[in-house]
Chains A and B, each alone.
Chain A
Amino acid sequence: MALTLERNVLKFYQGLEQGIIYGRKCTECGAVEFPPHYACNECGYHETEWVELSGKGVLKSVILPVSLNADNKLAAIGDYCFGIVQLEEGCEFNSTIFGVNAENADAIRAKLPVPVHAKFVPMDGYTTLLFEVDKDAL
């Protein structure tokens, strides 16, 4: 077992600063663990290795924010929704996606899954990874 004590989280956010998305891939079942953790949560095997991800994927659901879950910081960047994103490497997760609003939400829902790409968003002291609907998706 080649486990080493690593700064997984730091490496991930440092990657985002440079526009690189790190994940880890199970050396047994091949599933991509995203965001990166030591072990594989698909099959429960102990070992994964670093991989770079494309940031390309699809949006699989659209939930619009209302008062309880709205975020002013995100709204200042642009229209957004919550949804499930699946990357082309297979991993899927809940995320926040720009380019969706009350006007186009139904049109997007009718076309799901809709292509999205990574959007690197500078925040207060770190860069985060959110997504954006591809321009030619609609």
Chain B
Amino acid sequence: MVHGKLGKLSRSVSIIGVGATPFMNINEDPDLLGLTEGDCFGYAALKAMEDAGLEPRDVEYFYHGSANPKMFNDAVTPAMQVAEWFGMRGRGSVHHSEACATGYVALEQAVMAVASGAHDIVLSGGVEMATGLPDGKKPACFRRPMTTEDIWPDLDAIIDRAYTRYLGGGAIGQDDWIDVYRKEYGLTAEQVDDVLNMMSYQGRRAAALNPLALEREPFEDIAKRFGFDDPMDYLRSPFNPHTTQYLRVTGNAPSADGAACFIVCPTEMAKQFNKTPIEVLGVSASCLESARPHLERDATAEAAKQIYELTGIKPEDIDLLLVNDFILSSQLLAAEEVGYLPRGEGWKYVMEGRTAFDGDRPINTNGGRTSYGHAFGASGAADVYEAVIQMRGEAGAHQVKKLPKTAMLRGFGGGQNVRIAVLRTVDE
């Protein structure tokens, strides 16, 4: 691979407002069925403005992210089509799609737009209506549930269509890195299973306390329904079968409908708004196509190197880590790769509950993709939302114990893009 380096931003940029819908399955609730991408993105955008104390007229430009607006919403110009939902008719905007990394790219792009001096107040975020599809050629509120027959052929679209998907190179991604880890540190298959199940369990504990999360039923209750006293016994049982060599059903992210947005401005302006500003120290990037061996590990390592060089922060400075874990094992693996957990020891931290929302090295405090749900293009923006409310101490029942001052977010997706962002609370 060809390595990279990040330059310093031309001016410091901070997040001054965040807004989000819950992650939902609108098909399961008659009161939600009929929600559209405009309803959701518009709500998240206006909530972010309200949070900052801004009106739509104050926002100069916006970025709109969605993993696959053509498939999910029959739209190829979605930014144009949602702008009027939140009072920005006539303002400039751009749409972007980087599959599951979209929400992280949303942060990178908005920060660059402000750092460049082109704009002062920029809104950015993502939306996906990922549990259904347009019901033929009808208005947006008429949707039908999505089936596996709908989604599977389309998942290929994140994999190179010249070579990789036809040369059998795209199917190793869920298991490759955890397989390397297992061999490197001599874990048995049963130990890996326990570690993954513990991550599922701890994620659900957080999600149960998070009103925005999709899957909120504690595994204790689910286990009881299946006749188990111990949730770990349920998680390792045939009722939770393997879907890949290492992952079980609970190691995969359920699709969700939802949106999340944030607003950035120059840090020097940020203190005049409602909330404690959260500075974006930088966003690094590395992208490796699905045929590349160990692509998630290597792109994470490259992006981590870049962000540490740029910001000068050390892994021990990080108080909170958000990792796109639609492949559940990514949580542990990325945490070790960026140095948040010691190499080869992270799995013990997981087993001891130290990576839970109420542990001393919290990861994915919103529940993670496998419990919070995964509204593809919105999920990264929902991670930004989560990091910001945790750093402000506004996370309520799932608030981490020690108020985080520095957070790292590792985005991943789209065959595959990696972004690493570092956020830091601006001192009073």
Chain A residues packing against B (C-beta within 8 Å): 8-9, 12, 35, 41-44, 60-61, 63-69, 71, 74, 82-84, 92-96, 123, 126, 128-130
Complex Cα distance, B3 from A44, in Å, reads: 9
Q: Which residues of B165-191 have CB atoms within 8 Å of chain A's CB atoms?
A: 166-172, 174-176, 179-180
Closest A residue to B161 using CB positions? A9
Interface size class of B (residues with CB under 8 A): 20 to 34
Q: Are B2 and A12 in contact (CB-based, < 8 A)? A: no
Complex Cα distance, B242 from A94, in Å, reads: 22
Minimum C-beta distance from B329 to chain A (A): 13
- Answer yes or no: B290 CB below 8 A from chain A CBs: yes
Name which of B180, B252, B292 has the most chain A CB atoms within 10 A of its CB: B292
Complex Cα distance, B1 from A43, in Å, reads: 7
- Answer yes or no: B77 CB below 8 A from chain A CBs: no
Complex Cα distance, B3 from A43, in Å, reads: 9
Q: Are A69 and B291 in contact (CB-based, < 8 A)? A: no
Complex Cα distance, B42 from A57, in Å, reads: 54
Q: Are A35 and B171 in contact (CB-based, < 8 A)? A: no
A82-B293 contact in complex given A61-B176, A66-B243, A66-B244, C-beta closer than 8 Å: no
A64: which B residues are within 8 A, CB to CB? 245
Chain B residues packing against A (C-beta within 8 Å): 1-2, 162-164, 166-172, 174-176, 179-180, 241-245, 247, 252, 290-294
A69-B168 contact in complex given A41-B1, A84-B293, C-beta closer than 8 Å: no
Q: Are B168 and A128 in contact (CB-based, < 8 A)? A: yes
9 A-B contacts (beta carbon < 8 Å): A35-B162, A60-B293, A64-B245, A65-B171, A65-B244, A95-B167, A95-B168, A96-B171, A123-B166
Complex Cα distance, B288 from A42, in Å, reads: 12
Complex Cα distance, B169 from A94, in Å, reads: 5
Top 4 A-B residue pairs of the complex, sorted by shortest distance between their CB atoms:
A96-B168, A68-B243, A94-B169, A44-B2
Name which of A64, A68, A92 has the most chain B CB atoms within 10 A of its CB: A68
Complex Cα distance, B180 from A84, in Å, reads: 11
Complex Cα distance, B164 from A128, in Å, reads: 10
A8: which B residues are within 8 A, CB to CB? 162
A92: which B residues are within 8 A, CB to CB? 293
Q: Are A82 and B168 in contact (CB-based, < 8 A)? A: yes
Q: Are B2 and A68 in contact (CB-based, < 8 A)? A: no
Q: A96-B168, A128-B167 are in contact. List 18 more A-B contacts (CB 8 A).
A: A35-B163, A41-B2, A42-B2, A61-B176, A61-B179, A63-B244, A65-B171, A67-B242, A68-B243, A68-B247, A71-B171, A82-B175, A84-B176, A84-B293, A93-B292, A94-B293, A95-B169, A130-B167
Minimum C-beta distance from A89 to chain B (A): 15
A63: which B residues are within 8 A, CB to CB? 172, 175-176, 179, 244-245
Complex Cα distance, B166 from A130, in Å, reads: 9
Complex Cα distance, B244 from A22, in Å, reads: 32
Q: Are A93 and B244 in contact (CB-based, < 8 A)? A: no
Q: Are B168 and A43 in contact (CB-based, < 8 A)? A: no
Complex Cα distance, B79 from A23, in Å, reads: 41
Complex Cα distance, B176 from A12, in Å, reads: 27
Minimum C-beta distance from A13 to chain B (A): 8
Minimum C-beta distance from B240 to chain A (A): 13
Q: Are A35 and B172 in contact (CB-based, < 8 A)? A: no
Minimum C-beta distance from B193 to chain A (A): 13
A126-B166 contact in complex given A71-B171, A94-B293, C-beta closer than 8 Å: yes
Minimum C-beta distance from B378 to chain A (A): 23
Minimum C-beta distance from B148 to chain A (A): 10
A96-B169 contact in complex given A44-B2, A63-B179, C-beta closer than 8 Å: yes
A74: which B residues are within 8 A, CB to CB? 168
A82's partner among B166, B172, B180, B241 (CB-CB below 8 A) is B172
A95: which B residues are within 8 A, CB to CB? 167-169
Minimum C-beta distance from A91 to chain B (A): 10
Name which of A67, A82, A128 has the most chain B CB atoms within 10 A of its CB: A82
A93-B171 contact in complex given A43-B2, A61-B176, A126-B166, C-beta closer than 8 Å: no
B291: which A residues are within 8 A, CB to CB? 35, 93-94
Minimum C-beta distance from B245 to chain A (A): 5
B290: which A residues are within 8 A, CB to CB? 94
A35: which B residues are within 8 A, CB to CB? 162-163, 167, 291
Complex Cα distance, B242 from A128, in Å, reads: 29
B179: which A residues are within 8 A, CB to CB? 61, 63
Complex Cα distance, B1 from A83, in Å, reads: 19
Complex Cα distance, B140 from A133, in Å, reads: 51
B244's partner among A9, A41, A68, A128 (CB-CB below 8 A) is A68
Complex Cα distance, B171 from A64, in Å, reads: 10
B163: which A residues are within 8 A, CB to CB? 9, 12, 35
Q: Are A69 and B1 in contact (CB-based, < 8 A)? A: no
B180: which A residues are within 8 A, CB to CB? 61
Minimum C-beta distance from B305 to chain A (A): 17
A44: which B residues are within 8 A, CB to CB? 2
Complex Cα distance, B152 from A68, in Å, reads: 10
Q: Are B2 and A128 in contact (CB-based, < 8 A)? A: no
